[in-house]
Amino acid sequence: MKKTVLLSIFLVSGVIHAGAIKDKYLDINDKIDKTKLSDDTKSKTLEENVNRALKMTLLQQYNLCGYEKASIGKDGYEVSELNPALIYVQYQSFVGYYLFASNPAYFLQYPLDSKVLLEPGSKIVRAYDKSCAGDSSSAQK
């Protein structure tokens, strides 16, 4: 009998607590949805997301020397017409896409999926090559 009473007290208190957290979450979510971002802010956020994704790819997939200085301008990426969360990128000899969970112009995020390819015949300097030691400015030869 005592176990049943204690169990029901814990369940009720958990439901009440979860309800308050849910209400707070919905309130904050409504405030974010009502916030209007300027086109300049959206553009900067999108570019920041694309550059962060590119650096992550160049480090993790290619171990590229000088990846931290890699940067794509507005002419280095295209937003898909059908899905604003799909971004096509081109950086030097690399070309590919990044798929984000939602439109990357609204908040900072990492891509869910990506595929970045290196053009055949391209030479890159990897971080473990001797020519990279001490000269991180040469991202590609």
Q: What is the pLDDT along the chain (141 residues), one digit of tens a residue?
A: 666 655 565 555 554 556 789 889 888 878 877 778 888 999 999 999 999 999 999 999 888 888 888 899 889 999 999 999 999 999 999 999 999 998 899 889 999 999 999 999 888 888 788 878 655 444 444
- Global pTM reads 0.69
| Size (the chain), residues | 141
- Taking the C-alpha atoms of residue 109 and residue 118, their distance in angstroms, rounded to an integer, is 24
What is the radius of gyration, based on Cα positions, of the chain?
Answer: 23
CB atoms inside a 10 Å sphere around CB 105: 21
Q: What is the pLDDT of residue 43?
A: 93
- Taking the C-alpha atoms of residue 92 and residue 83, their distance in angstroms, rounded to an integer, is 25
Tokens of 22: 């849910």
Structural contact between residues 106 and 37, judged by C-beta atoms closer than 8 angstroms: yes
Tokens of 92: 């030097």
| SS3 at position 22 | helix
Q: What is the pLDDT of residue 7?
A: 55
